[in-house]
A = this chain, B = another copy of it.
Amino acid sequence: MLQVKTPEEVLALIQSKFQPLPNHTESVPLTEALGRVLAEPVTAEEYVPDFDRSTVDGYACRASDTFGCSDAIPAILTLAGQVLMGEGADYGLSRDSCVYVPTGGAIPRGADCAVMIEYTEDYGDGTIGVLKPGAPGMNLIFRGDDVFPGKVVLPPGRVLTAQDIGALAAIGKVTVPVARRVRVGVISTGDELVPPEKAPGPGQVRDVNSPLLTAMLTDFGAEPVNYGIVVDDEQLLRKKMETAAAECDAVLISGGSSVGVKDAACRIIESMGELLLHGIAIKPGKPTIIGRAGNKPLIGLPGHPVAACFVAQLFVLPLLARLMGRTQEAYTVTAELTESVGANHGREQINACHLRRENGRLLAAPIRSKSGLITQLAGADGYFIIERDCEGLPKGAQVQVTLY
């Protein structure tokens, strides 16, 4: 008999019982890498910039040639030419001379600073007056200041942001090694379920979990495979589970409000491999099953969509992150409860909420409903957790909201 586990125990179990998928790296063009999980560290192979550059419009010169100058006594430098954008400046600069350089332009050898054009005067006779002394390095970026060969630019496991894409473009990394999208089979069970496009008959309801979980998986960068609705028949269910397990990296089976289906899911998972967990001490979400066939997670989620959603969020996504080698960050925003929330003893309680701003304060309005599903899902901005031994939170209490 498996004990009900706390959320911390479940997360530890996920780390210990599952391993990153082997050989799961694939190459994608930079233009398709947004949101993908970096599979290997990205190391620069070049200098960025590859030449010494000016950060201002002005004149590149030797700082020492300008020491002591002022408005009253400008340093007079010979204008030796100008640097054009996109062209090198592969020549030496003589003493007491300067070249015009635009922002981002290369500077010639010998120059060690750039004086802003605002601090100069062009006398029109081939000489430039510098009114403020430069200092070595002033207004310059030197070759490799930003990046040099061997510098680790991005660590593996990172979900690539638009900013990362920009950085990869800068170093010419136009093919990116990313983790293959993990394939996740989604099965809904229950005699009462009809697909969303069908009008429910008496005693029937629409299958919410398939579209919900499919969307959550897509959002997470996994590849959902929808196996549809299976009626409450152990043989059919077993066959579908086996097909899904053969075709996917992980299988989610949700539903079965009836005790029979729960038991069937347990028996099937056990026969396919190993049952690791039966029951998590959270509310909602207790009737959760986690098993494995080799390194392949087989997960039984609660039938109630709100419970399935929370369990998927709290445990399935971290498990998929583990398989994909994805670094999982969960940032929360701090908000103030608009009303008190009671809680049960003995189980962590998860509450969906709406967020709104009022007089500069961020407020979290807990969503109350009697097992309602649309009300709990639609328009919710995130959720907060009330700890196991807490009997509830008063109005005005600060909660940490995880955003959807």
Chain B CB within 8 A of A136 CB: no
Q: Closest residue to A356 on the B side, CB-wise?
A: B329
User: Which of these binds chain B: A18-26, A240-248, A375-383?
Assistant: A375-383
Q: Closest residue to A231 on the B side, CB-wise?
A: B86
Check A161 against B207 for contact (C-beta < 8 Å): no
Which of these, B34, B259, B403, contacts A57 with CB under 8 Å?
A: B259
Q: Give the one of A146, A190, A211, A380 with max B CB within 10 A.
A: A211
Chain B CB within 8 A of A4 CB: no
Check B257 against A145 for contact (C-beta < 8 Å): no
Report the Cα distance A145→B259, complex, angstroms.
Answer: 25
Interface string of A36-77 (1 = CB under 8 A from B): 000000001000111100010100000000000000000000
CB of A207, distance to nearest CB on chain B (Å)? 7
Report the Cα distance A127→B211, complex, angstroms.
Answer: 42
Check A257 against B103 for contact (C-beta < 8 Å): yes
Check B211 against A197 for contact (C-beta < 8 Å): no
CB of A45, distance to nearest CB on chain B (Å)? 10
Check B207 against A169 for contact (C-beta < 8 Å): yes
What residues of B have a CB within 8 angstroms of the CB of A211 in the complex?
A: 30-31, 165-166, 168-169
Q: Closest residue to A375 on the B side, CB-wise?
A: B146
Chain B CB within 8 A of A88 CB: yes
Given contacts A85-B190, A85-B232, A106-B202, contact A212 B48 (CB under 8 A): no
Given contacts A191-B84, A192-B85, A216-B162, contact A51 B147 (CB under 8 A): no
Interface residues of A (CB under 8 A from B): 30-31, 34-35, 44, 48-51, 55, 57, 83-90, 102-106, 141, 145-147, 153-155, 158, 161-172, 174, 190-193, 196-212, 214-216, 218-219, 232, 257-259, 303, 305, 309, 329, 331-334, 352, 355, 362, 369-375, 377-381, 403-404
Q: Which 4 A-B pairs have the closest CB atoms?
A: A88-B202, A166-B212, A167-B378, A162-B215
